[in-house]
Amino acid sequence: MIEHDDLPSPRPPVFLGCFTALAVLVFLFGVGSCLVVYWESGADTGKVRLELAEAYGPGTVQFVGAHNLYIARLPGGAFLALADLDAANRANPARRCRVYPIPAADPALPALLDRYRGRLSTEARGSTLLFREDCYGALYDFTGIRIDADGPNLDRYPTSIDADGYLVVDTSRRTCTARSGADEAVERPCTAR
């Protein structure tokens, strides 16, 4: 009679177990690496890393289409990040017009500058750049201050320069102001995005 204790027991598949363990480790390492890259990229933080700060000349404005904002570098060197959608258009879900710089060759520009020269912000005095919004006819100087009437200015985003010298804009936070009489920028609540 054959006893079952004497029969060799089937050996577990060592190769399959080792391969599975190795595959799990590679997968976890890959996921971990992707998460580190994702977190360091600034994803979901609202912080957008743009060009080196020195790439923006004083007194200039540059459109950043991927984030719908303008970077204005003031003559003194400070930076402003301005939303390209004003408050009236932000509140209107049906029809939206974004602000754009009036071209220097536009024949109406000199008359607009003469007409609104007294309403330009201190930082914009001497500049010939104005923003226009065509749905409601609003005009803004190059710092985002409304010049044609009292009302909301262009929203601003905080800016900073990182350790490597790049301009960083935090699009997760907005500062909203309005022109009211002699006050160029009275804080107001921000409307929905």
Structure confidence at residue 190 (pLDDT): 87
Q: What is the model's pTM?
A: 0.74
Q: Which fold has domain 47-187?
A: Rieske Iron-sulfur Protein (2.102.10)
Structure confidence at residue 150 (pLDDT): 94
Q: Where are the domains of the chain?
A: 11-40, 47-187
At 61, which helix (H) or strand (E)?
A: strand 60-64
Q: Retrieve residue 82's tokens.
A: 């301005």
pLDDT in tens, 80-130: 999 998 888 888 777 788 999 999 999 999 999 999 999 999 999 889 999
Phi, psi of 18 (to 5 degrees): -65, -40
Phi, psi of 141 (to 5 degrees): -80, 180
